[in-house]
Chains A and B, each alone.
Chain A
Amino acid sequence: MKKLAMLAAACICLMQISVTGVFAEEKTIQIGALYPISGNLALMGEESWRGAEIARILRNRQGGVAGKQIVFRQGDASTNSAARSETERMIEQDKVKAILGTYASSRCMVASEVAARKDIFYFELGAIANAITQRGYKTVWRTCPTSLDFCRGQVNFIINWLAPTLGKKANEIKVGIAHEDGEYGTSVANSFATLAKKTGLQIVSVEAYSNTSNDLSSVIFRLRKAAPDIVVAVSSSQDAILLSRQANELGLNIPIMGTGGGHSFQSFADGLGPQANGVLNVDFTQYHVNTKYTPGLEEFVKLYQETFKHFPRAGSSLANFMGANVIFNILEKTGGSFDPEKIRKVAMAMDIQPGHTATGWGVKFDKEGQNVRAECLVTQWRDGKLVTVWPKKFAVMEPILVK
């Protein structure tokens, strides 16, 4: 597996070298791009990479950064140990001064630590674990929302839309949680439960399951017993489909709200068909959104489609597009310099209000390097499309309640 993946990665690298080889070293800006492009996270890893890649292509067309063309040096974070060794390789051999990535939190945790120890910048554009920016590393920055932001989006929606719609007070709302038992599912479910309890919601059932399971009937049975008003699901991939299918099969008549992951894939709706209709979700900015608040989104989609011959598969590419642009803007202001002090100064000074980037997120970094203006939106599957329904300024449709 590794070999093939390496080969594929090597091919990609070679292609890029041959494309960009005409430029002399000093006329380019080299940035490491670390994503899982093989292994079980490859799908979204690659999707995320595409976002950054589109940003790179677009920026190079517009003249690059500080007059120089941007070149990505690829790394494949197929496993945690690969993330470590690839980061080391990019730093030692490719001599990159900054790395962006990573999609998966576990990979990012490992890779950014390696980078931070060598004083190399690590820009996280898509991984959401809260801890990433909480370890005191001065060179780790994140442009996208954290898992806490996901939960904020959900709680906000439940209190401000679901409760009034059901004619209940917030503290009368019962929530069931079903999550995959990996680090992703567990940490997000924990954050949600903590936040929800703080705001007075009742958590009536928390069900962990393995995401390689091919039968979730027991989860459904337990939820059916607990009878919540809404089920918050944290699914990483196909388990999202399985959960909805078996909920239908076994007569669980309760609305489901995903937390990104498996609920954001187009294949969720493709596989589920009409049954997907009405399933709620919270995630990074998706494509059916009020484009007045997401300038640059349409241009991104157009170039994406030209490059990859189909519509973006998930919002993560858009988030990486947005994040890569933020990095390019920072580097533009430092004149292409990777001097830590310069970058820090420029980044901290950034102040973009919401509604002025392709994701609609504003940009304002806190001391820990987290973009505090990144936020998650509530979407809903409607006729095979993931449309934004909340908050109102982003919404293109009103949410509906489907059990």
Chain B
Amino acid sequence: MDFYIQVLISGLLLGGIYALISIGLNLIFGVVRILNFAHGELVMLAMYGTFWLYKLYDLDPYLSLVVVLPAMFLFGVVLQRFILQPVLTTSGVMKMFTTVGISILMQNLALILWKGDFRAVQTFYSMSTIKFSGLIISIPRLVAFGAALLSIILLYLFLKYTYVGKALRAIVEDHATARLMGITVERHYLLAFGLGALFSALGGTLMMPFSSVYPTIGGPFTALAFVIVVLGGLGSMGGTFLAGLFIGVIEAFAGTFVSPGLKEAIYFVIFLLVLMVRPQGLFGMGRGTEEIGLK
């Protein structure tokens, strides 16, 4: 029994991080209506930021959030303003090419600037664990999970109760009508992209104490985030969180009881099955999935 609980814990802790990264993607997709194929690269960039702050200035990864989060927010804003905004009114394929291009460019810049080396930070708490009744929980992973939960709640409250948050939700539903209300849609796009980048950055930085960064680390995150966002329902933040946990747990159990090599394949199969039964995703509002060709 303990063993199952241990696996479950591993899955949940992993899922929290997944949710955090995915929520940024969902926000960007929901508001800006752009499929950001460079999403994993945002995570990668934040991880490198954390690494270099640690390496050059001896800054603790958690403290580096103070620098990394605003910087990544700004990076997202700039990306949206100067690269994506100009192509927003073009075809879906064009937008896709643009974000894929950004992703490839960022990977290669990382490769050129920082080489293919994988880099990790060493902190005194990297390996620290909590042990009780035969269970082991990694502290940095627990911290990441807690932060994921907290920030997703904060995002939820922000969207639910602030005026700007409501405007963002209105844009998610219908940007043309939102405009009629006097909502400056393009400016809100900047905010949404900035926030999306910020959440990915948070995920990336929180992972640094227990994982390494290298130029191509982003790709799998992009794929994973797509799966989770679609599963959780486009535009549904709570759905994304639950779907993140769901995928994390599936991954842990499939990896442990079927085969570690197959865990990605297994969650992908489950993803497709869920979509066949519920095309709007597990918690989705039923709109939007068709836009990425899944319906």
Which A residues fall within an 8 A CB radius of B? 1, 4-5, 8, 38, 40-44, 46, 181, 207-210, 212-219, 221-222, 237-238, 241-242, 245, 248-251, 262, 265, 267, 270-273, 275, 313
Q: Measured between alpha carbons, how far is A4 from B129 in the docked complex, in Å?
A: 43
| Contact between B122 and A38, CB atoms less than 8 A apart | no
Q: Which A-chain residue is minimally distant from B107 (CB atoms)?
A: A1
On whether A222 and B260 interact (CB within 8 A), knowing A212-B220, A215-B10, A242-B211, the answer reads: yes
B219 to chain A: which residues have CB within 8 Å? Answer: 212
Compute how far the CA of A42 lies from the CA of B108 in the bound complex, rounded to whole angstroms.
Answer: 10
Report how far A213 CA is from B260 CA in the complex, Å. Answer: 9
Number of interface residues of B (CB under 8 A): 46
Name the prevailing secondary structure of the B interface residues: helix
Most chain A C-beta atoms within 10 Å of own C-beta, residue among B117, B210, B217: B117
Q: Which 7 residue pairs spanning A and B have beta carbons closest together?
A: A271-B120, A218-B255, A43-B116, A208-B261, A238-B118, A273-B122, A209-B260
Say whether A241 contacts B212, CB under 8 Å.
yes
List 18 A-B residue pairs with CB atoms under 8 Å apart, sorted by A's residue number.
Answer: A38-B111, A41-B116, A209-B255, A209-B260, A212-B220, A213-B263, A214-B220, A215-B252, A216-B260, A218-B252, A221-B3, A221-B256, A238-B217, A241-B120, A248-B127, A249-B127, A265-B117, A265-B118
Once A210-B261, A245-B126, A270-B120 are accepted as A-B contacts, the answer to whether A4 and B108 lie under 8 Å apart by CB is yes
What mask results when residues 186 to 213 of chain B are scored 1 for a CB within 8 Å of chain A, else 0? Answer: 0000000000000000000001001110
| Residues of A with C-beta under 8 A to B108 | 1, 4-5, 38
Known interface pairs A8-B112, A242-B211, A251-B136; A267-B260 also in contact (CB < 8 Å)? no
**Would you call B260 and A218 a contact (CB within 8 A)?**
yes
Please name 4 further chain A to chain B contacts, defined as beta carbons within 8 Å, in addition to the given A238-B211, A241-B120, A245-B127, sorted by A numbering: A214-B14, A237-B214, A249-B127, A267-B120
**B6 sits at the interface (CB 8 A):** yes
In the bound complex, residues from chain B placing their C-beta under 8 Å from that of A42 are: 111, 115-116
B126:A267 contact, CB within 8 angstroms: no
**A-facing residues in B5-36 (Cβ within 8 Å):** 6-7, 10, 14
Identify which of B111, B116, B121, B255 gathers the most chain A CB atoms within 10 Å of its CB. Answer: B116
Is the Cβ of B261 less than 8 Å from the Cβ of A267?
no
- Asked whether, in the complex, the Cβ of B14 is within 8 Å of the Cβ of A215, the reply is yes
- Whether, in the assembled complex, B80 has its beta carbon less than 8 Å from a beta carbon of chain A, the answer is no
Given contacts A4-B105, A5-B108, A270-B120, contact A221 B6 (CB under 8 A): yes
B259 within 8 A of A: yes
Asked if A210 contacts B107 (CB within 8 A), the reply is no
Complex CA distance for A245 and B215, rounded to whole angstroms:
20
Does B74 count as interface, using CB distance less than 8 angstroms? no
Query: Is the beta-carbon distance between B138 and A40 smaller than 8 angstroms?
Result: no
Give every chain B residue within 8 A of A44 (Cβ-Cβ). 116
* B119 contacts the other chain (CB 8 A): yes
| In the bound complex, CA of A41 to CA of B3 (Å) | 37
A250 to B118, CA, bound (A): 22
Give the Cβ gap from B116 to chain A, nearest Cβ, in Å. 3
Q: Is B236 in contact with chain A by the CB < 8 A criterion? A: no
Residue of A nearest to B141 (CB): A249
Interface string of B123-157 (1 = CB under 8 A from A): 00011010000001010010000000000000000
Q: In the complex, how many angstroms separate the beta carbon of A351 from the nearest chain B beta carbon?
A: 38
Assess whether B240 is interfacial by the CB under 8 Å rule: no
> Contact between B117 and A313 (Cβ–Cβ < 8 Å)?
yes
Other-chain contact of B119, A1, A5, A41, A271 (Cβ < 8 Å): A271
Q: B125 → chain A, closest Cβ, in Å?
A: 11
Asked whether any CB of chain A lies closer than 8 Å to the CB of B289, the reply is: no
Give complex CA distance A219, B212 in Å. 18
Central interface residue in B3, B111, B256, by most chain A CB within 10 Å = B111
